Amino acid sequence: MDWIRQQVSDLCKEIRGEAIPLTDAFNYTDFMINSPLGRYDGDIYESYFNMVQNAHPPAQKPPYFNKHVSIFG
């Protein structure tokens, strides 16, 4: 099993440089892929932070909070 993991890791390193060109070959826009990773402009960190922040606005409790987290729920 360790050999398989090592082979997968080695193969991933080998094709890493081709990942973006292969993905770009499908001609999907960043908007369509909807991923902050692998962005054309290379700004993954700010984009990822904004995506998470928009999905979970401050001062809003998630729907499960009262049932599973709150001691008062």
pTM metric for this prediction? 0.38
- Those residues whose C-beta lies under 8 Å from the C-beta of residue 45, and which sit 6 or more positions away, are none
The whole-number pLDDT of residue 8 equals 95
The whole domain housing 34 covers 2-69
The whole-number pLDDT of residue 73 equals 56
Average pLDDT per consecutive 10 residues, the chain (73 residues; last block may be shorter): 94 87 83 73 82 81 82 69
CA nearest to 47, candidates 33, 35, 38, 36: 36
Number of compact structural domains in the chain: 1
The whole-number pLDDT of residue 3 equals 95
Distance set, CA 62 to CA 1, 2, 9, 57, 67 (Å): 40, 40, 37, 10, 10
The whole-number pLDDT of residue 9 equals 94
CA nearest to 36, candidates 46, 25, 44, 26: 44
The whole-number pLDDT of residue 22 equals 83
